[in-house]
């Protein structure tokens, strides 16, 4: 929050299928929401403005056509002959509209069809993003992510490598806290989907991830894997 102060978006998902969305410019409101949360799933995005407006319109987890979207990276300002800068959108928001318009045009509703659309359009951006499908109760993760299993109880998925080690200082002596038995980690890449009804992850692998220079860094094939969910 300290280094990404330009807007705070949070989505809590409670059973049965209740999406509580907060988009605010006030850090205190976001902190209050975090402290009071009692949800199985929590998704959040702290914005550091790179383009577009600095108001509420630039806060991520935009809601359109039963989808929510948040992105960490860079994007585009025009597509298909339309200049979205005229609409004062931020680059991530432009890609969200491109993605949804393409999904509608191709009538893509299944998870594999959506993954293929992500692959066909993801060259327009770099970084990673989340696409929450409220109707079908699933979340698509595209790009490269760090994942952590904590205490065999809950999973953290983040765009940042987390240093879990801490140091206790007692009477001037430093005692490193060994988290190796509590924390397990792995990287994921491509396109994954989380089923909010079952809490299971599945790797679709059809997405293409790009770095900040637009170079392809991943393009996978279909695969399947179980997972955990206990955010």
Which segments within the chain are labelled E, that is strand?
8-14, 18-24, 41-46, 62-64, 67-74, 78-79, 82-83, 126-133, 138-142, 145-150, 154-158, 166-170, 173-177, 183-188, 191-195, 200-203, 208-210, 216-219
- pTM beyond cutoff 0.85: no
Q: Rounded to 5 degrees, what are φ and ψ at 219?
A: -155, 100
Identify the band that residue 55 occupies on the pLDDT scale cut at 50, 70 and 90.
low
Identify the band that residue 206 occupies on the pLDDT scale cut at 50, 70 and 90.
very low
* Any domain includes 2: no
How far apart are alpha carbons 121 and 228 in whole angstroms? 29
Which of 98-102, 120-124, 214-218, 224-228 bottoms out in mean pLDDT, i.e. has the lowest?
A: 224-228
Q: Other CB atoms closer than 10 Å to residue 231's CB: what's the count?
A: 17
Q: Same domain for 171 and 205?
A: no
Range 30-40 average pLDDT: 82
Q: Same domain for 101 and 166?
A: no
Which segments within 37-80 are labelled E, that is strand?
41-46, 62-64, 67-74, 78-79
Full domain range(s) for residue 184: 145-188
* Any domain includes 229: no
Identify the band that residue 217 occupies on the pLDDT scale cut at 50, 70 and 90.
very low
Identify the band that residue 215 occupies on the pLDDT scale cut at 50, 70 and 90.
very low
Q: Same domain for 125 and 167?
A: no
- pLDDT higher at 163 or 197: 197
Q: What angle do CA 217, 111, 159 make, to 5 degrees?
A: 40
The tens digit of pLDDT for each residue in 102-139 reads 899 999 999 989 988 887 777 667 788 999 999 999 99
* Any domain includes 119: yes
Spatial contact of 201 and 226, defined as CB atoms under 8 Å apart: yes
Range 179-208 average pLDDT: 81
Please tell me the total count of domains within the chain. Answer: 2
pLDDT for 58 beyond 80:
no
Q: Same domain for 126 and 162?
A: no
Q: Same domain for 81 and 155?
A: no
Range 56-81 average pLDDT: 78
Which of 47-51, 206-210, 223-227 bottoms out in mean pLDDT, i.e. has the lowest?
A: 223-227
Q: Same domain for 130 and 211?
A: yes
């Amino acid at each position: 929050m300290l280094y990404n102060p330009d807007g705070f978006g949070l989505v809590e998902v409670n059973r049965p299928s209740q999406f509580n969305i907060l988009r605010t410019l006030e850090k205190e409101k976001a902190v209050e929401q975090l402290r009071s949360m009692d949800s199985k799933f929590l998704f959040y995005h702290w914005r550091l403005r790179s383009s577009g407006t600095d108001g509420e319109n630039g806060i991520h987890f935009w809601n359109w056509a039963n989808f929510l979207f948040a992105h960490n990276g860079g994007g585009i300002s025009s597509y298909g002959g339309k200049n979205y800068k005229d609409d004062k959108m931020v680059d991530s928001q432009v890609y969200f509209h491109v993605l949804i318009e393409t999904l509608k045009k191709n009538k893509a509703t299944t998870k594999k069809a959506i993954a293929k659309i992500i692959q066909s359009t993801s060259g327009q951006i770099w970084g990673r993003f989340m696409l929450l499908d409220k109707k079908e109760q699933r979340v698509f993760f595209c790009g490269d992510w760090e994942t952590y299993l904590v205490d065999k109880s809950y999973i953290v998925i983040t765009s940042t490598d987390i240093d879990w080690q801490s140091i206790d200082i007692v009477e001037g002596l430093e005692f490193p806290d060994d988290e190796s038995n509590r924390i397990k980690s792995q990287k994921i890449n491509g396109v994954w989907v989380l089923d909010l009804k079952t809490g299971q992850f599945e790797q679709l692998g059809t997405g293409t991830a790009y770095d900040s220079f637009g170079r392809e860094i991943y393009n996978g094939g279909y695969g399947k894997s179980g997972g955990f969910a206990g955010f």
